[in-house]
Amino acid sequence: MFRDTVSALCHTVVEERCLAGIGSAAPEANSVVQFVLAQHARMPDFLRAPVVVLTLMFDLQCILKHGAPFRRLDCDQRIQHVRDWRLSRLGFRRDFVRLYESLAVLGWHSMKERCQ
């Protein structure tokens, strides 16, 4: 469930923040997912479990609002959920989105540069 949620989140970030105005070949979003999962495995050990728990919270919270977890939502609903957390009054939600957005954006643009 964790990997599926990370995958859905990375695809959403790439869709919303990386593909705008792209005319040339773009890297596979799945490569970004692999990079983000690998980075999760590298992060300080005391942070790994809290990030997993938060990721699952992020996923399951959608059931209340949309009737399905984040990973099963359509693209527009996913983008809205990410925006809700990005603009949340709760700092841990904003930090959570920033972590994944930073990794996905850096990973995608680095891979794009490598493609070129």
| Site for another protein, rule CB under 8 A | 16-18, 20-22, 35, 38-39, 42-47, 86, 91, 94-95, 98, 101-102, 105-113
Q: Minimum Å distance from CB 63 to another protein? A: 25
78 C-beta neighbours (distance < 10 Å), count: 22
Minimum CB–partner distance for residue 44 and another protein (Å): 4
By beta-carbon proximity to another protein, the closer residue of 19 and 63 is 19
| Rounded Cα–Cα distance for residues 73 and 90 (Å) | 23
Q: In terms of CB distance, is 17 or 72 closer to another protein?
A: 17
Q: How far is the CB of 21 from another protein (least distance, A)?
A: 5
What does the CA dihedral 116, 6, 34, 113 come to, rounded to 10 degrees?
10
Q: Which CA distances in Å does 63 have to 34, 72, 81, 109, 116?
A: 26, 10, 11, 32, 40
Nearer to another protein, 66 or 109 (CB): 109
Check: CB of residue 84 under 8 Å from CB of residue 95. Answer: no
Residue 105 CB, nearest approach to another protein (Å): 5
Between residues 46 and 64, which has the closer beta carbon with respect to another protein? 46
